[in-house]
Amino acid sequence: MSGPRVAIVGSGPVGLDAALAVAERGWQPVVYEAGSTVGAGVRGWGHVELFTPWSMNVSTRMRATLGSAAPDVADRTRLPTGAELVSWLLEPLARAPELAGHVRVGARVLGIGRAGLVKDEEIASDARAARPFLLLVEDHDGERIERADIVIDSSGALSIPNAIGDGGIPAPGERALQHAIERTIPDIGEEPGAFAGATTLVVGAGHSAQTAVRDLAALAHEAGGTRVVWAVRDREPHWGGVPGDPLPARAELVAGSTALAGGASPDVDVRLGSSVAAIAERDGRLLVALRTRGVGEEVLADRVIALVGAVGDGTLHEQLQVHQCYATAAPMSLSAALLGSGSTDCLAQAAPSGDTLKNPEPGFFIIGAKSHGRFGAFLMQTGYAQVDEVMGLLDP
């Protein structure tokens, strides 16, 4: 391979699709993956069933690469789980001749800069493009600087979880109890004993929190003494429902949450209009002060699951010239386009145009779930469209 060396941060579906697009041009992709496996981000929620079918999860490039082994070609009639997305799609892609040797797992990018220039030099000037990018990479051999001509940051939106305190800042005690607060969707089927007979406080209202509460409610129905307290910030949450939702699994989840909020389960106490005022350790359990519609309450929980959203790691590019939206943390032009669409439904999001993906920093692109900042909802098929747009900008 010749041509520009393209560093791709993250081996999720969008990073791998970008790597295929780079490889098919005969350029040199290098995919850095912080986790110990390909698609480590997706693996973190591997037990969760996707809302989208294979036909929406496999890009045209992926299908062309895998041929008859592509999972949407084989007979796979039900929705995949995150783990299946990794083992049936992402891992075979990383092993395919087009990408073999170009995906480095256990390699975390810690910072991206321009050789010889700091952030405020050569402002939005083509002179920056004449200098290579420098990436500080950490792997099992330690830290080193690697170079690239183009950088595609597809490091996902899960890097920095939001805090649970009111106003988005940590609640008193939250920082000290970081180790005790869970921030991923629990695999209740895998470890029912950890939740059966226990009190679990779930904080958050998005689809991840809804999935956790749905699964806990099902366990509570079977295992007596299991209790769930669900703290939801909005007084009247809409649960991300979409009229006439074409994704039945999402519609079902939303309907279930609406029913739980209406008191459908005696084991789930839903607190609408609630925020966490403080959290402390008490005799090996977690004592959480909730304030719900102005009324204080203490919940003594065995487990606290905080699923209040997350955002990608903006520190990676803090030495680059990136114009980020002050409200959403997404790149400014893309954020304006998304805000203009006026919808929080990921299916309704406008297809990106190449211009919305350009940054003042030449040759640096943020795509995939990270590009949507705090918008939250994101579909990988949007990421595949972004890859096409970025390649359109780069093609001579």
Ligand X SMILES: Cc1cc2nc3c(=O)[nH]c(=O)nc-3n(C[C@H](O)[C@H](O)[C@H](O)COP(=O)(O)OP(=O)(O)OC[C@H]3O[C@@H](n4cnc5c(N)ncnc54)[C@H](O)[C@@H]3O)c2cc1C
Q: What is the binding site for ligand X (CB under 6 A)?
A: 9-15, 32-35, 39-42, 45, 48, 50-52, 108-109, 154-156, 158-159, 185, 208, 313, 316, 368-369, 378-380, 383
For residues 316-343, one letter each, b for 16 or more C-beta atoms within 10 angstroms of the residue's C-beta and e for the rest, the string is bbebbbbebbeebbbbbbbbebbeeeee
Contact 216, 202 (CB under 8 A): yes
Nearer of residues 4 and 106 to ligand X, judged by Cβ: 106
Nearer of residues 199 and 384 to ligand X, judged by Cβ: 384
The helix/strand/coil state of 86 is helix
User: Cβ of residue 366: shortest distance to ligand X, in angstroms?
Assistant: 10
Look up residue 180 and give its amino acid: A
In the numeric block, which tokens belong to residue 267? 């084991």
User: Cβ of residue 225: shortest distance to ligand X, in angstroms?
Assistant: 28
Nearer of residues 34 and 228 to ligand X, judged by Cβ: 34
User: Rounded to an integer, what distance in angstroms lies between the CA atom of residue 289 and that of residue 199?
Assistant: 15
Nearer of residues 113 and 383 to ligand X, judged by Cβ: 383
User: Cβ of residue 297: shortest distance to ligand X, in angstroms?
Assistant: 29
Q: How many CA atoms lie within 13 A of 239 on its CB side?
A: 22
Query: Of 258, 288, 260, nearest to 275 (Cα)?
Result: 288
In the numeric block, which tokens belong to residue 71? 């999972």
User: Cβ of residue 393: shortest distance to ligand X, in angstroms?
Assistant: 18
Contact 301, 288 (CB under 8 A): yes
Contact 164, 289 (CB under 8 A): no
In the numeric block, which tokens belong to residue 242? 């979409």
User: Cβ of residue 26: shortest distance to ligand X, in angstroms?
Assistant: 23
User: Cβ of residue 189: shortest distance to ligand X, in angstroms?
Assistant: 15
Nearer of residues 21 and 50 to ligand X, judged by Cβ: 50
Q: Find the Cα–Cα–Cα–Cα dihedral 347, 247, 162, 87, rounded to 10°.
A: -100
Contact 312, 155 (CB under 8 A): yes
Nearer of residues 109 and 288 to ligand X, judged by Cβ: 109
User: Cβ of residue 207: shortest distance to ligand X, in angstroms?
Assistant: 7
Look up residue 329 and give its amino acid: A
User: Cβ of residue 194: shortest distance to ligand X, in angstroms?
Assistant: 19
User: Rounded to an integer, what distance in angstroms lies between the CA atom of residue 109 and that of residue 159?
Assistant: 12
Contact 58, 72 (CB under 8 A): yes
Alpha carbon distances (Å) from 214 to 81, 217, 231, 235: 16, 5, 14, 19
The helix/strand/coil state of 212 is helix
Nearer of residues 200 and 211 to ligand X, judged by Cβ: 211
Nearer of residues 254 and 288 to ligand X, judged by Cβ: 254
Residue 159's CB: how many other CB atoms inside 10 A?
Answer: 17
The residue written with tokens 């093609």 in the block is: 395
Residue 289's CB: how many other CB atoms inside 10 A?
Answer: 17
User: Cβ of residue 391: shortest distance to ligand X, in angstroms?
Assistant: 16
Nearer of residues 133 and 227 to ligand X, judged by Cβ: 133
Nearer of residues 9 and 279 to ligand X, judged by Cβ: 9
In the numeric block, which tokens belong to residue 154? 């597809």
User: Cβ of residue 266: shortest distance to ligand X, in angstroms?
Assistant: 27
